[in-house]
Homo-oligomer: A and B are copies of this chain.
């Protein structure tokens, strides 16, 4: 693919700060274009040290992520260790289950293990002769004028300076590269935390590595002001995440003892508790993670520094798009290099941030929007009815109504367009739903007439 274009400019020595998911994928892309890539990572090599991080263990890979992996030819490899989840299964407080498909037949998001994916990407990057990975390199300071990184080798405790010509900041939500940009004049920046934290817990595998809940689904225990989710692992277990207020009547602060935790879970997640024998132990041993949204601009400094992934747009996890958006950054950058040529960094950087910033902002909004949907609305029969009606409209008007979730998850429509279309659809459904009490009402002539009117007003803008 891209290698045909890389000959348009001389190979360069490029520097990548951060070898997490986005940094390792980016390095692979840049190396395949013929460049020499020096990668510095604060942590130890996860392939040697064992994966140790406070971040979520499971991720949901969807179409944007897959396309980026296909771009470097490793999608099939990863798909073999992913578990397709074709829909949500909601668990109510009595243990009753409700199923909601994510898309059409054959569409799914994939539960993959963050550590596995990161290690695989690092192996592939390292296999490139022009990629050099250096771990345990903490970025202490960046001199943007002189263009050098001031690094601490955490193993030897020696400080050293590394010059760079082109620096890519893929060092995550607490990016040191962005930290340097943030101190330049007229730098817009915000970090905003939810009043919710998260706790990772485990549903154990059943006998012989069987799954004790339906394997091919994302499980949700929506409880209005909070929720728990579970994603399947290959070994039969599920990784659960409780998203829960820090303070209040039902909150982390209100559960100070194992007895409190046991009583609370038995009351609100009764069907899950028997599957979580390590519940109280994990609850107090695992850290409570915080949930931040980061927005900033610009994403570049002059023509020589560019931010990608969480470094420029960390989002809350409720749409499962954090990694997918970061991977899409890599595809988009690669496409721009195809379009303008590898020598045209100034144009590519400028185009990249102009294209991606509105999409990152939209995705941040979507992720916050889906928090409300997942913790609250999916437990509402009216909401589930609305989703069924939307699916019927989509069938009736092929290509003219793509549900928001599908646009975000199963398409490559820019996030900002998807979000705008989703808001128009919400407005239409708000007018329509008062006339609909059951799935059968969809076929009522009066309802059909209303739908025709709505679709006629904005023939192409609803999807």
Contacts and interface: CB of A to CB of B under 8 A. Distances in A.
Contacts of A191: 182, 187-190
Contact of A187 (B188, B189, B193): B193
Interface in A179-202: 182, 185-193
A315 to B, nearest CB: 16
Contacts of A406: none
A190 B191 CA distance: 6
Oligomeric state, in copies: 2
Contact of A192 (B190, B193, B246): B190
Nearest to A289: B185
A165 to B, nearest CB: 27
Contacts of A182: 191
Nearest to A291: B186
A56 interface: no
A186 B190 contact: no
Which of A182, A186, A188, A290 gathers the greatest number of chain B CB atoms within 10 Å? A186
A286 to B, nearest CB: 15
- Binding site secondary structure of chain A: strand
Interface string A213-250: 00000000000000000000000000000000010000
Interface in A7-66: none
Interface in A241-261: 246
A317 to B, nearest CB: 16
A244 to B, nearest CB: 14
Nearest to A246: B186
Nearest to A183: B174
Contact of A190 (B185, B190, B246, B290): B190
A180 to B, nearest CB: 13
A462 to B, nearest CB: 33
Interface in A98-157: none
Contacts of A190: 189-192
A2 B186 CA distance: 41
Contact of A186 (B185, B188, B290): B290
Nearest to A292: B186
Nearest to A193: B186
A290 B183 CA distance: 13
Contacts of A193: 186-188
Nearest to A182: B191
Contacts of A192: 188, 190
Contact of A290 (B185, B246, B290): B185
A311 to B, nearest CB: 16
16 contacts: A182-B191, A185-B290, A186-B193, A186-B246, A186-B290, A187-B191, A187-B193, A188-B191, A188-B192, A188-B193, A189-B189, A189-B190, A189-B191, A190-B190, A190-B191, A190-B192
Interface of A: 182, 185-193, 246, 290
Nearest 10 A/B pairs, CB to CB: A190-B190, A186-B193, A186-B290, A189-B191, A188-B192, A185-B290, A188-B193, A189-B190, A188-B191, A187-B191
